[in-house]
Amino acid sequence: MSFRCCVAIKHSNLGLLDFLEPKETIMFKKCLLSVCGLVLVGCAASPSTKSETTQNTVSSSSSLALQVMKADGRADGLRDFEVNLNSKVGSEDLLNVADAALLREHILGKAAPLPGVSNVAMSAFFAVELLNDRTYLPREGMWMPVWMPASLAKDSQEAELKMTEITEQAITKALPEGYRVKPYEWVDKAIFGAESSYRILRVDGPLCEQWSCMIRGSLASLENPGKSSAARMIKGKNPAFFHSNEGAYRFRGLGGIAVRKITKEYDQTGKGSGQWHRIEHVDLAGFDHAGFYRRFSGAMPDWAFIYFGPEETHNDAGIPFVLNGGKELFFVKPAASSI
């Protein structure tokens, strides 16, 4: 799989590289050079599937990263930064200005951070505001837009199980050497009789001795799929940037996974017949989350994307980007006057 990428560049006295440590700066510069190199050759491509395809027109009005977010319905607060491709493009000049082009002030135009809200009030706040105003989501969020080919499943429930299988295989490949996983499922029962089934992957390894970590997220229960809601999928159309008219399954929610450290685990029984299994957890300190997500993305099919907001915990660069096939897609595009 290959992608075309065009990068917008603008001179500025401020740069992202100023905020990075020396080691991070070198790595980021290498990444920028590879991206800027694509500008010079002017090449481009879009995702494809293994199914029989029909050529679709890929819009040049937005970067692939922005096309992904628009197709996912979560592009509020995001916009492409434009570059004049007719300007001087010496490699050193590209480095000096490309970092400025990626500054969040330019990329995130109208986005504003979510005002401080206590944990107690958070759930009530989300219930009203989450679906009404998403401008803060691209800043703080990390989620996984996917368009799984419809040919891989006969219905939504089978799609959830297939997506779980694909995700868990990619997780196994992405974990560093010395780590291993095993699935764990349980069922919560409400007082009025309703049941909900959950699935996580327990993790054992250097920072997770005696299976003290877990990977949670969009994993469907294999034992009770009908009672599992963590990986709900719905069927729809492929976005225009795919070279396929085949239908696709996508997450009903945000999708995504997270590696966490288990701090406490217990069963809770309420008055009556209610019973719940509780797992308390925190961020896994010392773990290379950025490297894990890059490897995870590289192990996923080309129809899976991972968005990182600039204020996401594991986004060290502090700029929004999309991972696909283990590579970064940036919110940058050529200015119309320079095409």
Q: How confident is the model at residue 87 (pLDDT cuts 50, 70, 90)?
A: low
Task: For the sheet with 306-308, list strands across it.
Answer: 142-143, 306-308, 321-324, 327-330
Where do the domains of the chain lie?
Answer: 1-145+307-339, 146-304
Crossing angle of the two packed helices 156-174 and 289-299, in degrees rounded to 10: 130
pLDDT at 19 over 60: no
In this predicted structure, which of 109-113, 114-118, 247-251, 275-279 has the lowest mean pLDDT?
Answer: 109-113
**pTM score > 0.75 for this model?**
no
- The three state secondary structure string of 199-219 is EEEEEECCCCCCCCEEEEECC
Residue 82, pLDDT score: 74
Give CA–CA dist 44/242, Å, rounded. Answer: 13
Residue 85, pLDDT score: 59
Residue 112, pLDDT score: 33
Sign of CA dihedral 280, 282, 285, 288: positive
DSSP state of 304: B
For all residues of the chain together, what is the average pLDDT?
A: 74
> Would you list the DSSP string of 8-72?
-----S--GGGGS-HHHHHHHHHHHHHHHHHHHHT-------SS-----PPPSSS-HHHHHHHHT
Burial string for 44-81 (b: 16+ CB within 10 Å, else e) reads: eebbebeeeeeeeebeeebbbbbbbbbbbebbbbbbbb
Residue 283, pLDDT score: 95
Helix (H) or strand (E) holding 305: none
Indicate the SS3 state at residue 265: strand
Q: Which residues fall within 8 angstroms of residue 118, CB to CB, at 6 or more apart?
A: none
Residue 1, pLDDT score: 33
pLDDT at 123 over 70: no
Give CA–CA dist 110/63, Å, rounded. Answer: 18
**What is the signed CA dihedral for 263, 265, 269, 275, rounded to 10 degrees?**
120
pLDDT at 63 over 70: yes
pLDDT one-digit tens code per residue, 194-215: 899 999 999 999 999 999 999 9
Residue 34, pLDDT score: 41
Residue 8, pLDDT score: 31
Q: How confident is the model at residue 318 (pLDDT cuts 50, 70, 90)?
A: confident
Give CA–CA dist 210/232, Å, rounded. Answer: 31
> Which of 93, 90, 94 shows the shortest CA–CA distance to 6?
94
